């Protein structure tokens, strides 16, 4: 088997695992690439085929339905994944058409036999006869509404399209919807963080515009730099960096402060907090309900010479047991993850509107418990990797109503602006809050929401 064929097979098997076993592509793919012995261009091909196919799955399913003249749910799932991979190569890469068709047909044959191979061959040859632009015209014409058309063309579920529009409209930027959807379908650039006080970026690195600890490499694999730093340099989205720093730098740190990261997994923000605590003489505790993710938190902290105990409790219980205890608390709440669709493309197909109510209830309970665990004068940062207004503005508004005059807001927008070399352009929200909302299309970050609340 050639390396190129192996790269396609790795991509196909990863996509199958995502759909069949709810695997996470970002966790499975690197291991699969190593096991297959792929490197360089072939590893890059497997990565592009996997993520590109998952990102554009909604569009490709519309193409396949037209070309096959049947709904995609009537197609064998293993054959459908081979078709998706083939359509991605035909419409969105420079892979030769004959190679895209032939290799995808062979994947269908291996999965489901000769009949499936003949069906896949007919569908993909039909797709190959029209240009990508022609297919986008066909897909657009198949939509039953304007929102469905946007969803099909930009490969997002309709409910996500509508949630994004509402979140942008809260900033007076509803006209940026297509730019946001486009950014979600682009591979994110690798951003690094040098833990403050413990590491500096390499001399040839380029500083990021907003985070004072962020940088990007000119090229090459960052893994060597990460390993060589002993964990003090790490791959981390700039929005994630800013969320942690917004808490530590919202106001001057007093001597002997106690900090808590309430929902710490997988530990990227925890490591930034630990470095900041070490630099300012504060102590830090972390909590993560999932034992596996708690293990990731401990690993993330290995590069910081600070003892950080990591508990494994429900965050609501953990905070309730520590009333009036902490000076700063980070609540990086479980959420829909709609802000990280660039790097977790399968998430858009796994979430549904019905997930939002239970998540917002959990988020409210976590934030309410965290406020109760603050000392008077203490600050909580409420963070979601989602711009959905129910998970951001709605949760904060409910908690503020509950606590009334006992809490006040610190403008996260102003704090982040003071951290940044460039103007992040964070406009006032429609609700008049100080919430900071970052965006992939504006800031080249995940769509991170940050709110800062101070207990009076």
Active-site pick, 85, 139, 385, 396: 385
Report how far residue 180's alpha carbon sits from residue 101's, in angstroms, rounded to the nearest whole number: 32
* Contact between residue 187 and residue 447 where contact means Cβ atoms under 8 Å apart: no
Residue the block writes with tokens 């800013």: 242
Q: Is 385 a catalytic residue?
A: yes
The alpha carbon dihedral of 285, 286, 289, 291 has a sign of negative
Q: What angle do CA 188, 382, 170 make, to 5 degrees?
A: 70
Residue 84's Cβ-count burial label (10 Å; 0-12, 13-18, 19+) is buried
Cβ contacts of 34 within 8 Å, gap of 6 or more: none
Rounded CA gap, 357 and 363, in Å? 10
Question: What is the rounded CA–CA span in Å between residue 201 and residue 195?
Answer: 9
Quote the tokens at residue 55. Answer: 């990102």
Q: Max alpha carbon distance in the chain (Å)?
A: 72
What Rg value do the Cα atoms of the chain yield, rounded? 23
Q: Would you tell me how many other CB atoms lie within 10 Å of the CB of residue 1?
A: 8
Strand partners, 451: 382
Tokens 């503005």, located at residue: 393
CB atoms within 10 A of CB 352: 11
**What sign for the dihedral angle of Cα 399, 402, 403, 405?**
positive
Whether residue 382 contacts residue 403, with contact meaning beta carbons closer than 8 Å, is answered with no
- Coil/strand/helix, residue 377: strand
Question: Do 185 and 154 form a contact (C-beta atoms < 8 A)?
Answer: yes
Q: Tokens at residue 301, please?
A: 């902290």
**Which residues are designated catalytic?**
385
């Amino acid at each position: 088997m050639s390396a190129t064929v192996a790269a396609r097979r790795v991509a196909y098997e990863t996509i199958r695992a995502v759909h069949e076993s709810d695997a996470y592509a970002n966790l499975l793919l690197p291991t699969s690439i190593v096991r297959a012995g792929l490197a360089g261009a072939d590893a890059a091909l497997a990565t592009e085929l996997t993520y590109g196919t998952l990102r554009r799955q909604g569009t490709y399913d519309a193409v396949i339905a037209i070309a096959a003249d049947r709904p995609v749910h009537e197609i064998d799932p293993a054959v459908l994944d081979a078709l998706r991979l083939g359509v991605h190569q035909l419409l969105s890469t420079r892979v030769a058409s004959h190679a895209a068709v032939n290799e995808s047909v062979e994947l269908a044959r291996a999965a489901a036999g000769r009949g499936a191979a003949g069906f896949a061959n007919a569908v993909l040859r039909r797709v190959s006869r029209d240009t990508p632009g022609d297919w986008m015209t066909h897909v657009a014409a198949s939509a039953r509404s304007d929102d469905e058309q946007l969803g099909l063309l930009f490969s997002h579920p309709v409910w996500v399209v509508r949630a994004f529009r509402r979140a942008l409209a809260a900033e007076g930027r509803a006209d940026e919807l297509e730019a946001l959807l486009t950014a979600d379908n682009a591979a994110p650039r690798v951003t690094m963080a040098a833990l403050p006080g413990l590491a500096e970026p390499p001399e040839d690195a380029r500083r990021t515009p907003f985070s004072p600890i962020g940088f990007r490499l000119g090229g090459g694999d960052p893994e060597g730099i990460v390993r060589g730093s002993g964990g003090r340099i790490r791959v981390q989205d700039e929005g994630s960096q800013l969320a942690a720093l917004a808490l530590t730098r919202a106001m001057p740190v007093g001597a002997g402060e106690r900090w808590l990261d309430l929902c710490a997994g997988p530990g990227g923000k925890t490591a930034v907090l630990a470095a900041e605590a070490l630099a300012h003489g504060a102590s830090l505790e972390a909590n993560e309900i999932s034992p596996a993710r708690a293990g990731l938190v401990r690993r993330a902290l290995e590069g910081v010479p600070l003892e950080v105990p990591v508990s494994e409790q429900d965050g609501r219980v953990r905070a309730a047991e520590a009333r009036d205890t902490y000076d700063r608390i980070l609540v990086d709440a479980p959420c829909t993850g709609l802000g990280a669709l660039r790097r977790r493309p399968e998430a858009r197909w796994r979430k549904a509107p019905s997930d939002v109510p239970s998540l917002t209830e959990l988020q409210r309970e976590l934030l309410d418990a965290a406020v109760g665990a603050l000392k008077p004068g203490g600050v909580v940062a409420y963070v979601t990797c989602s711009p959905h207004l129910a998970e951001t503005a709605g949760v904060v508004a409910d908690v503020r109503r509950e606590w009334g005059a006992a809490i006040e807001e610190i403008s996260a927008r102003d704090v982040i602006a003071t951290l940044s070399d460039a103007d992040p352009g964070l406009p006032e929200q429609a609700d008049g809050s100080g919430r900071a909302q970052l965006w992939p299309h504006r800031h080249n970050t995940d769509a991170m929401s940050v709110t800062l609340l101070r207990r009076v």
